[in-house]
Amino acid sequence: MRTEVVKLIKEALKKKGVKLEEDKINSMIEIPPSTELGDYAFPCFFLAKEMKMEPAEIALEVRTKIGNVPEEYFNDVQTHGPYINFFINHKGQVYEALKEILKKRESFGKSNLGQKRTIVIEFSSPNIAKSFGIGHIRSTIIGNSIANLCEFQGYTAKRINYLGDWGAQFGQLIFGYKKFGDSKKFKKNPLAHLQEIYVKINKNKKYLEESKKEFKNLEEGDRENLALWRKFRELSISEFEKIYKMFDIKFDEFTSESGTNNYLEKTLKELKEKKLSRKSQGALVVHLKKYGLGTAIIQKSDGTSIYCLRDIAEAIRRHKKYNFEKMIYEVGQEQTMHFQQVFKILELMGYGWAKNCVHVKHGLYLGKDKKKFSTRKGKTADLNEIIDITEKYAQKEISKRFPELGQKELKERALKVALASIFYGDLKNNRETNIIFDPKSFVSFEGNTGPYILYSYARASSILKKTKTKDKFSVPKKLEDKERDLFKSLTDFPEVALKAFKNYNPSIIANYIYSICKTFNEFYHAHPVIGSDEEPFRLALIESFRQVLRNSCNLLGIKLLEEM
């Protein structure tokens, strides 16, 4: 409906010689405070300067240019001072719109923009032998949601996990394990023990120096080192898999830094042949100063390979395999320079598709002291801890509300609420902003939180359970303000999903979710449903709300509960 309004305004303005983009018009449209003033309003103040006329006059003239409006959409278009107010044909429009939502169900809001073309999205990509850190949580949650957004627009999304399983840190772990390893501790909690070792080594310059040798040996295929590395790797992967299972997130491919070992030689040769790499103080580099991107190190002086070269090799492999239209890397913003260098080098190598690679960044997760969480300093904040803390708060909140709940049920619900709290607490923020991890506020049942969303859904479900009517719904001639608001916000969903996709920004969905929940709760407070004259209509409205909320939450990877 909104789109119809935008089109009418655009055409009318064009006739007056004013060119405005649809997005711009869309952002200017207001919802009048009461249905007396219509359903949508377009303010004309801002045109006054350009058109050298009074806003009210402009409104009148634009109204004239709009001419007759299609009856199936509109009852009327009137001016009211400087505003042009659009009155929607509720009876017809609302009926059709609700019917559409209820017929399309989980497909409501989808488009076929992508026509099955492939978007590769790399996300999560934790580092082996380290606990699943907070940055990886963000990447996992946001990346998964972006993949969902792509699929919703008709793209084939290929989810790739690129494990950090190679590099200097393994020299440190191998060195440290040989020196401080405790097989009992290791058996009990492998990742925690390795983490402990990692911290110890990183505090000591001499250890760090000696670790380099161990890494070199590993790269050269030393049996003992390889066996240790394999052990660390397997254990880590099985820990990570538990997490993905709990999150219900699946990958199409598990790739890894070590997996690129087979392509490195070839890539090095290619870089040399294309005259891109240079020797510099024993290392191999690509000069990118011309592009404001400094110098990319391809290979260190001791011959050990590094991160950049691997990403180049891996990107080439992925393009061969998937022939993607786009490749998204959901990785923390601290790697901005790295990805700029990788994309530039690919471009210089002659890969035109490099321009279709994007680094979609996220900000940091901060502690309450506003300082960055860091593992290197030994301050561990891993996923399990985060879930534990959040779960405890959730249990408290739930048992306050449902003291009669059994232990098992309480636990199950608390985990679901905790996960929704963490997902929503993250996704409601603009990806690039730093967020403060505050479990207590994440779990609050009030305000813009996961539990508030779950609660709204459960409330809608419980109303539907109570009804006895089986009557088909019809739309009242005149809608109440809150009915109109709710209906209208639901019809915005397809547009919101598209916008979130275009910006790779799940927070657009999260904010939309919050606004429809608020609107639903206001509607519910203002109007009785069960037993009212408009029961069938209001039930249809609530059922549509549930559907749109489900579809939106699916995009974020949030699981709803029928009962809270």
Catalog residues that contact ligand ARG under the rule CB under 6 A: 122, 125, 127, 162, 164, 311, 329, 331
Q: Which is nearer to ligand ARG, 136 or 416 (CB)?
A: 136
Shortest reach from residue 162's CB to ligand ARG, in Å? 5
Nearer to ligand ARG, 311 or 534 (CB): 311
Tell me how far, at minimum, the Cβ of 240 lies from ligand ARG, in Å. Answer: 12
Which of 552, 536, 548 is closest to 487 using CA atoms? Answer: 548
H or E segment at 269?
helix 261-273
Rg (CA), the chain: 28
Residues pairing with 41 in the sheet: 30, 85
In the DSSP assignment, the letter for residue 362 is E
User: Rounded to the nearest whole angstrom, what is the least distance from the CB of residue 246 to ligand ARG in the complex?
Assistant: 20
What are the residues whose beta carbons fall under 8 Å from the beta carbon of 277, sequence distance 6 or more?
268, 271, 284, 285, 286, 298
Specify the residue, 125 or 551, whose C-beta has the smaller distance to ligand ARG: 125
Q: CB burial class (10 A; 0-12, 13-18, 19+) of residue 293?
A: middle
The least distance separating ligand ARG from the CB of residue 122, rounded to whole angstroms, comes to: 6
Q: In whole angstroms, how close is the CB of 309 to ligand ARG at the nearest point?
A: 11
How many CA atoms does the CB half-sphere of 264 hold within 13 Å? 16
Residue 124 or residue 551: which is nearer to ligand ARG going by CB? 124
Neighbours of 314 (CB within 10 A): 21
- Dihedral of CA atoms 299, 305, 308, 314 in degrees, nearest 10, equals 130
Q: How far is the CB of 308 from ligand ARG (least distance, A)?
A: 9
Q: How far is the CB of 233 from ligand ARG (least distance, A)?
A: 13
Only one residue has tokens 């983009």, namely: 21
Q: Which is nearer to ligand ARG, 240 or 442 (CB)?
A: 240
Count how many residues are written for the chain.
564
User: Nearest distance from residue 504's CB to ligand ARG, in Å?
Assistant: 16
Of the two residues 311 and 485, which places its CB atom closer to ligand ARG in the complex? 311
Least gap, CB of 340 to ligand ARG (angstroms)? 12
Residue 63 or 321 having the CB closest to ligand ARG = 321
* Smallest gap from residue 310 Cβ to ligand ARG (A): 8
Taking the complex as a whole, the smallest distance from the CB of residue 296 to ligand ARG amounts, in Å, to 13
DSSP output for 451-509: HHHHHHHHHHHHHHHH----PPP---SS--HHHHHHHHHHHTHHHHHHHHHHTT-THHH
Cβ nearer to ligand ARG, comparing 82 with 259: 259
204 or 336: whose CB is closer to ligand ARG? Answer: 336
Residue 304 or 467: the one with the smaller Cβ distance to ligand ARG is 304
In terms of CB distance, is 78 or 356 closer to ligand ARG?
Answer: 356
Q: Which residue has its beta carbon closest to ligand ARG?
A: 164
For 14, phi then psi, to 5°, come to: -60, -40
Phi-psi region of 557 (alpha: psi -120 to 50; beta: other; left: phi over 0): left
CA nearest to 350, candidates 390, 324, 310, 319:
319
CB 200 to ligand ARG: min, Å = 20
> How far apart, in whole angstroms, are the C-alpha atoms of residue 129 and residue 462?
46
> Residue 329 or 455: which CB sits closer to ligand ARG?
329
Identity of residue 12: A
* Distances from the Cα of 19 to the Cα of 10, 13, 26, 126, 402, angstroms: 8, 7, 14, 49, 57
Contact by Cβ (8 Å): 85, 32 = yes
| Dist. CA 67–CA 537, nearest whole Å | 33
DSSP alpha helix (H) spans, 67-221: 90-104, 134-152, 168-180, 183-188, 190-202, 205-219
